[in-house]
């Protein structure tokens, strides 16, 4: 049974249906992202974060052990810091998801959020690498910009998609964290696809050789329950690619389960 750290919601999902799909796929736990608070139709309401947080909290209430709720926080909205307190405090969500879109990770508004997340001691997942869409937004997601997280050593954070197409830069940044932080370093690489197979296998091989196998975690970028077939395909293909990259059975187990538990602070 694997743990998937990268599952989206679009609104209206039922926790029990997600759990059923997880059993079909072979997933022990999933990290579920709330709906982006800034992408609703029409004007963004003043309580946009609260609406998104309440919704994902309701979904994961079906089984808060297997369904791990992450609030989607948009730092440019005025209620972002308040939303973090609400999500990680009153609603007991387990972490935060962000996409740098028209803002850089060193933005003062983002850093205010990082400080609040660090107070709660919860993990984060960032989108990194190319950002699909019709606007010129990928420039904000370059891996080197996430060096700012060196100033927030209380946050275990994951860089999604191995930052493709900047996979070498992603490995370099994570290597910097590995070498410059005492004890357990705080950066993780989410191997969720983005890169086509020919690039991804090469990136996995480099990551295993340079970083080792303790800070890579698995994700699918799927939606559940309707995306169960895709989730199963991603899991099967990622296991194949890990083997192709030279991973042992023990390494595959770490990437699919135990590394994620450590990132989440479970166990």
Question: Is the pLDDT reported for residue 160 higher than 90?
Answer: yes
Q: Over the stretch 40-49, which tens digit does the pLDDT of each residue have?
A: 556 777 888 9
Q: Over the stretch 178-210, which tens digit does the pLDDT of each residue have?
A: 999 998 999 999 999 989 999 999 999 999 999
Q: Over the stretch 99-157, which tens digit does the pLDDT of each residue have?
A: 999 999 999 999 999 999 999 999 999 999 998 876 788 999 999 999 999 999 999 99
Q: What are the two backbone dihedrals, phi and then psi, of residue 158, each rounded to the nearest 5 degrees? A: -115, 140
pTM higher than the cut 0.85:
yes
Share of the chain above pLDDT 90, in %: 91
Cβ neighbors of 115 (< 8 A, separation 6 or more) are: 152
pLDDT of residue 47: 87
Tally of domains within the chain: 1
Q: Over the stretch 67-104, which tens digit does the pLDDT of each residue have?
A: 999 999 999 999 999 999 999 999 999 999 999 999 99
Owning domain of residue 23: 2-264
Tell me the pLDDT of the chain averaged across its residues: 95
pLDDT of residue 247: 98
pLDDT of residue 31: 98
CB-based burial label for 152 (10 Å; 0-12, 13-18, 19+): middle
pLDDT of residue 136: 85
Q: How far apart are CA 128 and CA 143, in angstroms?
A: 6
Report the SS3 class of residue 103. Answer: coil
Q: How far apart are CA 203 and CA 41, in angstroms?
A: 38
CATH number of the CATH domain containing 243? 3.20.20.140
């Amino acid at each position: 049974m694997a743990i998937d750290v990268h599952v989206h919601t679009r609104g209206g999902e039922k926790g029990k249906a997600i759990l059923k799909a997880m059993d079909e796929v072979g997933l022990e736990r999933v990290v579920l992202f709330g709906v982006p608070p800034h992408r609703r139709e029409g004007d963004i309401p003043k309580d946009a974060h609260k609406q998104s947080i309440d919704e994902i909290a309701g979904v994961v209430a079906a089984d808060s052990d297997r369904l791990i709720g992450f609030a989607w926080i948009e730092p440019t909205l005025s209620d972002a810091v308040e939303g973090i307190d609400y999500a990680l405090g009153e609603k007991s969500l387990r972490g935060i998801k962000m996409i740098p879109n028209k803002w850089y990770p060193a933005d003062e508004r983002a850093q205010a959020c990082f400080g609040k997340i660090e107070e709660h001691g919860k993990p984060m997942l960032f989108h990194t690498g190319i950002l699909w869409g019709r606007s010129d937004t990928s420039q904000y997601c370059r891996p080197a910009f996430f060096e700012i997280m060196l100033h927030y050593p209380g946050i275990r954070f994951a860089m999604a998609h191995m930052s493709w197409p900047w996979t070498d830069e992603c490995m370099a940044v994570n290597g910097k964290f590995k070498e410059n932080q005492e004890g357990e370093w705080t950066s993780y690489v989410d191997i969720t696809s983005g890169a086509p197979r020919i690039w991804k296998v090469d990136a996995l091989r480099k990551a295993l050789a340079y970083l080792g196998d303790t800070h890579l975690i698995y994700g699918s970028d799927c939606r559940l329950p309707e995306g169960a077939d895709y989730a199963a395909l991603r899991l099967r293909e990622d296991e194949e690619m890990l083997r192709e990259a030279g991973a042992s059975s023990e390494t595959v187990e770490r990437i699919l389960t135990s590394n994620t538990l450590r990132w989440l602070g479970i166990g």
